[in-house]
Structure 1
Amino acid sequence: MAKPEDIIKVDLIGTAIALEVFRDYIGNGGAGLVISSQAGHMIPFAADFEKQLAQVPADELSDLAEIKAVDNSGYAYGMAKRANIVRVQHEAILWGDKGARINTVSPGIIITPLARHELQAQPESYARMIEASATGRTGTPDEVARAGEFLLSDDSSFITGTDLLIDGGVMAAIKAGRYQLGM
């Protein structure tokens, strides 16, 4: 995994900048999609900090004390992905004023080259997570793509500001007590 400061720059601030820029150009009937992660559902943050993640201008995010204090890559990633989710929820109102929609998708363990590398680094932990999930398997890039295609289509014209969790039921397993983080 990358250094915490790089994760913050790319996954958190970079996404916030992109959302601000695209908001200026999106038109009536437009739709946007941000890729977040199930990691954005795994770390609880205080409501006031989530509000800051959602609303502070992109060029001021790095000034937040909570962001300056991040020194762990996993925590930085979870924070960045949570920021993506709450920022899109806020942006949905602004995009809606222009007749446009925006959503996030939060994939879980999707088999890609990066995921294979992560799985090899912590095979026991990921195996337990997959086994505890509702589906008992990993996802595919095609499954994420089809979900994104739906959210960008007119078939989802009443869906905005929503995060679609595509994790095979991992978060359900955590909430049901079937899997505990850090096991």
Structure 2
Amino acid sequence: MPALTAKQDKALATTPVEELLALPPLQAEQIKDSLRAYQLSKRGNSLRVMAEAVRWGKRGARVNTISPGIIITPLANDELKGPRGAGYRRMLEVSAAGRAGTPDEVGTVGALLMGPDGALITGSDFLMDGGVTAAYWFGELAQE
């Protein structure tokens, strides 16, 4: 998804939840497919984590998010065998890691973020997709 304006990013980050659906970029005519809706929701999550880290930091709390890619779970196994399976398998093949992740790998990042070794980490979104997103921007999946 291309960058949003600074004003749009701030609105996604700080608009009260009950008012989010009134934002112009979230109007039905702006969202042509489920991929765009998903991308906006992920962007909103990472921006809101940054904004909330400021607020919650005053109380001594850390706020982060983990954005996993394809993690081998029963649902992912079904998806990989389903109608979109070929596309998902292609994403994994051309990613830097060349594979899907495991629940244990996600748990390891969660443990870091919640434990004493992650004490300085707050307001961060940890993208752990094995490089799939990188492939969409700079690799074999990039749009020309």
> Same fold by TM (over 0.5)?
yes
- In the superposition, the TM-score normalised over structure 1's length comes to 0.70
Trace 1:1-183 onto structure 2 (pairs within 5 A).
42=1, 44-69=3-28, 70=31, 72-119=33-80, 120-180=82-142
**Deviations 1:49-79, CA, capped at 9 Å, x for gaps:** 1111101111111211221323532221221
Q: 1:75 is matched by which residue type in structure 2?
A: R
Higher relative CO (CA 8 A, sep ≥ 6), structure 1 or 2? 1
CA contact (8 A) 1:43 1:79 kept: no
What is the TM-score of this pair, normalised by structure 2? Answer: 0.87
Which piece of structure 1 moves more, 98-107 or 42-51? 42-51
Per the alignment, residue 21 of structure 1 pairs with: none
Pick which of 136-145 and 62-71 moved more.
Answer: 62-71
Q: Secondary structure at the match of 2:105?
A: helix
CA gap of 1:44–1:99, structure 2 versus 1, over 3 A, is same
Consecutive unaligned residues in structure 1, runs of 5 or more: 1-41
| Structure 2: gaps spanning 5 or more residues | none
Please give the root-mean-square deviation of Cα atoms over the aligned residues, in Å. Answer: 1.7
Q: What is the distance in 2 between the residues matched to 1:48 and 1:170? A: 28
Q: Deviations over 1:119-171 (max 9, x none)?
A: 22212211221111111111111111111111011110001011111111112
Distance 1:45 1:125 in 2: 26
User: How far apart, in 2, do the equivalents of 1:121 and 1:177 lie?
Assistant: 24
**1:121 partner SS:** coil
- 2:37 and 2:78 map into 1 onto residues whose CA distance is 19
